[in-house]
Structure formats: C-alpha cells, structure tokens
Structure 1
Amino acid sequence: MSDTPEHNAFDGDELSFDDFQLEGFDSDTPLSTPASPQRDLSFFKSIPVTVTLEVASKEIALGELMSAGEGSVIELDKLNGEPLDVKVNGSLMGHAEVVVINDKYGLKLIDVVDSALTKMGP
C-alpha cells in the first residue's frame, strides 16, 4: 500500500453556479470598463526617435551579394517615382517624397499609416 494521498482532479461537471450568490447581477447588462481618465502624454513628445527614409529593398542570396563588386547593380523592389517608406525606429509610419531644403535632403509626407503613433494625438 502507498501512503501518498489520493489526488482528485477538478471535474467541471461538478461545478454548480447555484452555489454562488449573484445578487443584483443582471445577465442582460453588458460588462463595461470604467472610462479611463485623459492622460497627459506631453512627456512622450520629448523622447528622441530615429526617422528613416527607405528607398527600397531586395532579398538576395549571400553568394550573390559576395560576388558584387564596384560597379555592380542590384535591382530593388520599387519603381522610379514610387513613394518611399518612412520608418520610425524601424516601424512603418507612412510614405514620402524626397525634397531638397537649403542644400539638404528632406522628406515630404504623402500619407501617414494609421498606427499607434497617429492615435497618440498632436
């Protein structure tokens, strides 16, 4: 004989909701969460992020890349004139065109992707 106590597994069929006292509980009333207070997000406006304008990309085999040398051309996946991808910390924010401002490159936003960044508000 074994001295180990017998372990009974939970049986869902034995559960009866009649045992619970649910006074004042109306099953037709939808559950709701309390309205969250308006939060001041101005703190986040001073956090630095990296904005990148990605011209295009291409997935190629490492061997093909290793054989490329000076003067080699690697065809990318975007057509001439297509909007470029604007990424913030690596995540797509929208699309833009390249512009020149005071002899420096800049970008002109064409569209902004609906994301958590746009939902934060101004």
Structure 2
Amino acid sequence: MSIDPSTLDALATAPGTDDAFAAVMQEMASASQAETAAPAAAPAAPTLGLGRLMRRIPVTLTLELGSAKVSLEDVAHLRPDSVVELDVLAGEPLSMKINGVAIGKAEVVVSGENYGLKVIEVSDLDLDSFTP
C-alpha cells in the first residue's frame, strides 16, 4: 500500500492535529518521499515498519467501571442521591480499553492524589503484524 506524500503532509498539518500524530505523519511522508526519490538500480533503504510507526501514535487508555441497562424513564427520574447498580461485582477486575477496544483487565489504585490503574492482564498487541 502506498500513500501519496502530499496526503500525509495534509494530515500532519490539519487543524486540531496533535504534535505526536503530526510527527508520525511527517515521518511517514519523509519515508514515502525517500522511496520514490531513490533510483531504481540503488538498493532499497531500510524503511520504518508500520508497527514501529504505530507505536508513536497517541491513543486514549480508559478503564471501564461497568454499565447498566436502564430505560429512558429511569434516566428521567435520576436525582443527585440516585444509585444505579452496574453489571460488575465489587472488587472484580475492570475492562481496560484503548480507543474503546478492550485490551485487558485492571483494577483501580490510588497514585498520589490521583486514581490510577494496576494492570492485571493484557491481550496480545502485535503491532509488528501490521504491514503496509
């Protein structure tokens, strides 16, 4: 798969793009330009694998406490002292997600003045298996 370098440049400089994502897009554009600029007879220069580039893309890591199925009528009756029972048991490991996709289990801990998470189990994340 080949992506036009001008497309990568446009993605890297788009409004609202964060610095880490922009840096990855710029690196991909540079690598793509180097591939097209090299003479056909010259040996191919080593390029960064997609997996290596993906490791630098920022993602959102969340810990999902649980969920509950409720009716809109129940939601309409929620008040400041209302209690909604969730579908997880107290003390049970919680679902750890990256951009909404479950990747393991963790538990809540206190880290200084903030909450943190203690990883209990992680799914296999093989970014090197992705190929362009």
**Normalized against structure 2, the TM-score is what?**
0.56
Counterparts of residues 54-93 of structure 1 (less than 5 Å)? 54-93=64-103
Work out whether residues 55 and 127 of structure 2, in 8 Å CA contact, stay in contact via their aligned partners in 1.
no
- For structure 2, the 5+ residue unaligned runs are 1-47
1:91 counterpart letter in structure 2: V
Work out whether residues 95 and 104 of structure 2, in 8 Å CA contact, stay in contact via their aligned partners in 1.
yes
Work out whether residues 106 and 120 of structure 2, in 8 Å CA contact, stay in contact via their aligned partners in 1.
yes
CA distance in 2, matches of 1:48, 1:59: 31
> Is 1:105 paired with 2:112?
no
Counterparts of residues 1-122 of structure 1 (less than 5 Å)? 40=49, 41-114=51-124, 118-120=125-127
Equivalent residue of 1:46, what SS? coil
Once the two structures are superposed, residues 26-69 of structure 1 have per-residue CA deviations (whole angstroms, 9 ceiling, x without a partner) of xxxxxxxxxxxxx7222111111011111110111111111111
**Paired residues, what number?**
81
Equivalent residue of 2:75, what SS? helix
- State the 1:102 CA deviation: 2.1
Task: Name segments (4+ residues, structure 1) moved above 6 Å.
Answer: none
Work out whether residues 52 and 127 of structure 2, in 8 Å CA contact, stay in contact via their aligned partners in 1.
no
Q: Relative CO higher for 1 or 2, CA cutoff 8 Å, sep ≥ 6?
A: 2
More helix by share: 2
Work out whether residues 94 and 105 of structure 2, in 8 Å CA contact, stay in contact via their aligned partners in 1.
yes
2:56 counterpart letter in structure 1: S
CA distance in 1, matches of 2:83, 2:116: 25
Query: RMSD of aligned C-alpha atoms?
Result: 1.7
CA distance in 2, matches of 1:71, 1:100: 25
